[in-house]
Amino acid sequence: MELIHLSPLDLGLAASLVLLLALLSWRLHLGVEQRVLIAALRSAIQLSLIGLVLNFLFAQTSFAFIGLWTLIMLGVAGWEVMARQKHRYRGAWGFGIGTLSMFLSSFSVILLALTLIIGVEPWWQPQYLIPLLGMLLGNTMSGIAIALDNLSRQAWEGRGRIEARLLLGQSWECAIRDIRRDSMRAGLIPIVNSMAAAGLVSLPGMMTGQILSGSPPMEAAKYQMMILFLITAGTGLGSAAAVWVGSRRLFDHRQRLRLDRLTGPAP
C-alpha cells in the first residue's frame, strides 16, 4: 500500500481543531487557550526541526554525529526527570541521578536489541537507533521520574520513622527499604499498564506508524511487542538504579539521614 503524504492544507485542517478548542476555552472562560496555542505552536516547530535533523542524520553514517545526537537526547531526558521532582536533589545530583540511570539502562538495552535481536549492521544505523532509543528514553524517563519523586517525597514526609529506625540500630538500607520498594513499584506502574492495555484498549504508537506506512499488521505487532519488552526492561533497570543511587544519597557516610540534600523548606 502506498504511503499517503499529507499536504500543508491537511495539516492546516488538523490545526483548525486546536484553534476551535482554544476558542471554546476562551468562550467558557477556562483560561487555557493561550497555553493550548503555545503548546501547539511549539510542537509544530519542534517536530519540523527534528524532521530536518533526522533527514540529515539518516543521510550519513558518521558515528560522531549520531553519538552526539544520542547524548543530546539523553541530556534533555535527564533534565526532564529533574524538572518533575517536588523535592529535587541539590547540585549536580539532581541532573546526574536520572541521567546516569537512563544511560545505564536504555543504552545497554538498545545495544542488546540492535546487535542481537534486530541484527543491524552497523548497529548505530540511525534509522533504527534514533527512533528506538527515543521510545526507550521517553518511557524510562517517565518511570524514573515517578520513582525518584516517590522516593524523595516519602523520605521527606517519613523522616521521623526513618530516623527512629536508625536510632534502633538499623542500617540505612533497612531504614528506607519499604520506601525504596514502593518507589520502584510506582515507577513500573505506567509501563505495566501500557502492556496490559496494548492491543485491546489502544494501538501503541510504533505499531500504528508501521501500519500507516504500509507494513503488514502482524509484522507491526511483532515490532511493537519487541519495543514493549525493551521498554519494560529499561524502565525496571533504570528505576532500580535511580532508586538505589537516590536513596544512598539521602544518607552520609555515618548513615545519618540528610534531607538537606533535597530542595524544599528545612525539615
C-alpha cell of residue 73: 537526547
Q: pLDDT for 158-178, tens place per residue?
A: 989 999 999 998 999 999 999
Q: pLDDT for 178-202, tens place per residue?
A: 999 999 999 999 888 888 877 666 6
Which amino acid appears at position 165 of this protein? R
Q: pLDDT for 87-138, tens place per residue?
A: 889 888 989 998 999 998 989 999 998 998 888 888 888 888 888 898 889 8
Quote the CA–CA distance of 118 and 230 in Å, as a whole number. Answer: 12
Q: pLDDT for 52-91, tens place per residue?
A: 888 887 777 778 888 888 999 999 999 988 887 888 898 8
Q: pLDDT for 203-224, tens place per residue?
A: 666 677 777 767 787 887 888 8
Asked if residue 122 has a cis previous peptide bond (ω within 30° of 0), the answer is yes
